[in-house]
Structure formats: structure tokens, C-alpha cells
Amino acid sequence: MTGALTAAAVQMNAGDQLDNNLARAETLVEQAAAQGATLIALPEYFYLMPADDSARLKLAEDDGDGPLQTRMASLARRLGIWLLAGTLPLRAARPDRFFNSSLLYGPNGGRVARYDKMHLFGFDDGGDRYAESDTMQAGDAVVSADTPWGAMRLSVCYDLRFPELYRALPAPTLITAPAAFTRATGQAHWELLLRARAVENLAFVIAPGQCGRHPGGRETFGHSMIVDPWGEVLARQEDGEGAAVARLEFSRQADWRQRLPALRHRRLGDGTRSTSQHGD
């Protein structure tokens, strides 16, 4: 892959007012497009960060039909951009669950890919408890989108802790990871995980996040960033709303992959057998 792309990872401090969140998301996407970005990614839950997660369930839409999806498709078409609509709630078979779905739209407003978050975050330290599985249904498929820049592997937030998701073929040129990392886990692991996923896949990682305090007292980490295949952070939006914007040089990626052909050197996952051994 040769050529270049200007990408943006939008950072938001979404609240519990749907219309306000959507308007703010559109403004931030417009600002990133004005900076020359042609691939713009919104964070997880950009449409709603409520005190009660069940509020998202009430907004769940049928696949391909609903005001949230229509608005994102229209935004991509109006600006002529590739738009990753962070995550949106799509209906699941169970009426008390929804899919947390990352949707990619092309410049004509057509949907290119849908990925349902596969790994659902859960945390319980005896005091604080958080379980996405209370309201969400896990996806069951790895998704790669065909783009002009190569394969894009879609993922969401907690997926970053499961590197095998990114190892499935085709090897991704781009990885997207919209997130709402908590402040505690973000301070410890956010940049570490993003740079690791970039280096081990020799891929660009675009990671937009939520930031600040939200209704109910939840606090997210922010620090949205774009990382190159060598692990360098090309752009970062540390605190507050805005966007990390960077130029991605695919000729450099091709050069790194040629000089360090780690993707061709892989052994595990290609049928290599595994054994468990012990001494006498």
C-alpha cells in the first residue's frame, strides 16, 4: 500500500442528552474534516453516556434502519468522508439486550461494515461493579472492512485486551478502536495496549475515546490517539473534547513490513501443533 491518508480520532465528553451529544459529534467531525481528515472516527457511546446503561437499550435500532444510523450516513455523505460511527445500539434477538455495534460509512453515505463488540467489559472490585453483559449481547465475528488503504480491522474498547482478534487474516493495514476506557484502567493500560497492537500487527491504530466525568460519576480517560506501525504516537488529544489528527504514510508502513517481515514469520495460528509437557 502506498499513498497517504489524513485521519482523525475524535474525543468527546458525552452526557445523557441524546440531541446534545449528536450535535456535538457532528461539530467535532466537521472540524476534523476542515483540517483535511478524510477518515474520521467517533468514540464508543458518542451518542449517550447515561447514569443507567439501560438507557441505551431504549435507543436500539433495527440493522440498517433508524434515526441514529440515518444521521451518521448523512453526515458521511454531506462531508464526503469515511466515517466510523464509534458505536451505535442495534437490536439483538433478546429484547433485553442490544449489540454495541461499530459502523463504518463511506463517502457516499453507504455502510461499508458492521462490527458487533465481541468482548464485553466486566469489572468488580468488591465496591464498584460494571458489567456490559447486563444490557449487551456479544458479537461473534471478526470484521475487516475493505477500504482504499487496505484492510481495516474493526474493534471496540475492551477488545484491545484480546490480541488474537487482530491476528485473523487479512493482516490489517488499519485498526480502529473507539473506546470509553475508565480513568483507572486507562492510566495503566490504554497507551500500552494501543502501541502493542500497532507494533505486533505493523498497523496504524486509530483510537478515539471518551473523556472526563459523565452522569452517574463515571470518569473516562480520554487521550485519544493515532499510533503508527512502529509504535510511535503520531497524534494525541489528551484532555477535553477535540481530535487527534495525523497523516498516515502507507509507504513507510510498507517499508517497515519489508524490513521486519514479522507477519510472514508467524507460526502460531497456521496449524502449528501445541503440546503440554511435564517432567518425571
| CATH number of the domain that residue 125 is part of | 3.60.110.10
Other Cβ atoms closer than 10 A to 10: 30
Determine the Cα–Cα distance for residues 137 and 140; give it in Å rounded to an integer: 10
Residue 113 has pLDDT above 60, yes or no: yes
Give the per-residue pLDDT at 122.
Answer: 82
Sign of CA dihedral 97, 145, 106, 23: positive
Burial of 189 (0-12, 13-18, 19+ CB in 10 A): middle
Give the per-residue pLDDT at 223.
Answer: 98
In a domain, 269, yes or no: no
Mean pLDDT (the chain) is 93
In a domain, 162, yes or no: yes
Q: How far is CA 256 from CA 7, 63, 176, 193, in A?
A: 20, 39, 20, 20
Kindly report the pTM of this predicted structure: 0.94
In a domain, 277, yes or no: no
In a domain, 165, yes or no: yes
Which three cell numbers, joined as nine digits, stand for 75? 453526515
pLDDT in tens, 126-175: 666 678 999 999 999 999 999 999 999 999 999 999 999 999 999 999 99
Residue 275 has pLDDT above 60, yes or no: no
- As for how many domains the chain has, the answer is 1
pLDDT in tens, 221-246: 999 999 999 999 999 999 999 999 99
Query: DSSP for 154-190?
Result: E--GGGGG-GGGGTSSSPPSEEE--B--BHHHIIIII
pLDDT in tens, 40-92: 999 999 999 999 989 999 999 999 999 999 999 999 999 999 999 999 999 99
Q: Which band of pLDDT confidence, cut at 50, 70 and 90, is reported for residue 270?
A: low
Q: Which band of pLDDT confidence, cut at 50, 70 and 90, is reported for residue 267?
A: confident
Which three cell numbers, joined as nine digits, stand for 153? 480491522
**How remote is the C-alpha of 59 from its chain's centroid?**
20
Residues acting as catalytic residues: 44, 117, 157
Residue 206 structural domain: 4-259
Residue 124 has pLDDT above 80, yes or no: no
In a domain, 127, yes or no: yes
The residues near 159 (Cβ < 8 Å, ≥ 6 apart) are 117, 118, 119, 165, 177
In a domain, 268, yes or no: no
Give the per-residue pLDDT at 271.
Answer: 58
In a domain, 279, yes or no: no
Determine the Cα–Cα distance for residues 160 and 190; give it in Å rounded to an integer: 9
Which three cell numbers, joined as nine digits, stand for 94? 433478546
In a domain, 136, yes or no: yes
